[in-house]
Amino acid sequence: MELSIYLVSALVSAAIWSLPAISISLIYGVLRYPSFAIPEFMTLGAYLTLVLCGFSMPIWLAGILAAVCTGLVALAVDQTIFRSVRRAGMLPPVLLSLGLMLVIQNVVRFIWGNGNLQFPVAPMRPFNIAGIIITPVQLGILAVVLAVLAAVFLALRYTSFGRAVRATSTNPDLAIVTGVQPERVYGAVLFLAGALSAGGGIILAIETSLNPLLGWRVLIPLFAVAILGGLGSVVGAALAALLVGLASELSLFILPSSYKTALAFLVLTLVLLVRPSGLIKAAGART
């Protein structure tokens, strides 16, 4: 009974983390830098959703529109700012993403203030499915994330866009020879990353509450997931999200909740130390 609550909670955490973690993974795979702006795309997406909800829009429509808007922001920033340092190695884009993190976080703070905001989601009576207690919202979250994950996976595997992404991440120079236009791939990847992260942020805000540190607070678990999944692998990231989610929920049996993030950081450093290429990627899962 108690265990099932933790399991549901772990599943929901995994669902939330998987979207931005995949974004980190995708950007690392294709553009070869860890992007610290991803958590802020989560925050931005959640606030935009709230604004759109204010126009008496249903929350799902507001969410989709906000995700698209965030994706466009990510795309625009990439094609203007990040593009100017494209061939200068890993460090410049990392520093840029750090600067961008600060800008987004504080623009949000400037506009909406430091306070906690709530999504207008009416509390509903939880279901009891075979002894597992789950709220309709949680069920909806799991369904949506699973659908999105499946769509991303299929798109990367079977569409020409997916082939271009995979080619660029394996060997950019070879990809150019085979007719892939790298800037298009980069732009598309950034749009996708922005939109997916926004999705994760919206869900996180619905489950908890919304403030300017929404995304920043999950920075460490996100990177733990992305690294555990083997940076660059989508399936790996999704599985790793499940693992880290389970680990951090189950840790509640023995550790106080304040250690959740500490545990994620421990996972992160241990994986780097033991198997820098990522556990799951190393086990054979591929994009």
Partner 1 sequence: MIEYIIAISIFAGIYGFVALGLNIQWGLTGLINLGQVAFFAVGAYAFALAAKAGVPFILALAISACVSGLFGAAVAMFTPRLREDYLAIVTLGFSEFVRLILLNEKWLAGGPDGVAGIPRPNLPIGLPSELAFLTITAFALAIAFALTRRIEKLPFGRTLRAIREDETVVTSVGKISLSYKAQAFMLGAALAGIGGAFFASYLSYISPDMFGPNVSIYVLAAVLIGTQGSSAATLISTALVAMLLEGTRLLKDYITFVDGVELAALRLVALGVALIAIVIVRYRPGRI
Site residues, partner 1 (CB under 8 A): 33-34, 36, 81, 84-85, 87-88, 90-92, 94-96, 98-103, 105-107, 109-110, 113-114, 216, 219-220, 223, 227, 258-259, 261-262, 265, 268-269, 272-273, 276
Token pair listed for 264: 């994620």
Nearer to partner 1, 63 or 201 (CB): 201
Q: In the complex, what is the shortest distance from the CB of residue 236 to partner 1, in angstroms, rounded to a whole number?
A: 16
φ and ψ at residue 128, rounded to 5 degrees? -125, 100
Token pair listed for 82: 């990040």
Q: In the complex, what is the shortest distance from the CB of residue 142 to partner 1, in angstroms, rounded to a whole number?
A: 28
Nearer to partner 1, 62 or 101 (CB): 101
Q: In the complex, what is the shortest distance from the CB of residue 90 to partner 1, in angstroms, rounded to a whole number?
A: 6
Instruction: Output b/e per residue, 54-84; b: 16+ Cβ within 10 A.
Output: eeebebeebbbbbbbbbbebbbebbeeebee
Q: How many residues does the chain have?
A: 287
Q: In the complex, what is the shortest distance from the CB of residue 272 to partner 1, in angstroms, rounded to a whole number?
A: 5
Separation of alpha carbons 283 and 261, rounded Å: 25
Separation of alpha carbons 83 and 76, rounded Å: 10
Q: How many CA atoms lie within 13 A of 254 on its CB side?
A: 5
Q: In the complex, what is the shortest distance from the CB of residue 68 to partner 1, in angstroms, rounded to a whole number?
A: 24
Nearer to partner 1, 157 or 275 (CB): 275
Q: In the complex, what is the shortest distance from the CB of residue 278 to partner 1, in angstroms, rounded to a whole number?
A: 12
Whole-Å CA distances, 119 to 20, 70, 198: 20, 18, 15
Token pair listed for 164: 């271009």
Nearer to partner 1, 153 or 265 (CB): 265
Q: Is 285 helix (H, G, I), strand (E, B) or coil?
A: coil
Q: In the complex, what is the shortest distance from the CB of residue 53 to partner 1, in angstroms, rounded to a whole number?
A: 23
Nearer to partner 1, 131 or 256 (CB): 256
Nearer to partner 1, 87 or 125 (CB): 87
Nearer to partner 1, 3 or 102 (CB): 102
Token pair listed for 208: 């908890």
Q: In the complex, what is the shortest distance from the CB of residue 197 to partner 1, in angstroms, rounded to a whole number?
A: 17
> Which residue bears the tokens 């929901």?
12
What DSSP string runs through 9-57? HHHHHHHHHHHHHHHHHHHHHHH-S--TTHHHHHHHHHHHHHHHHTTT-
Nearer to partner 1, 44 or 164 (CB): 44
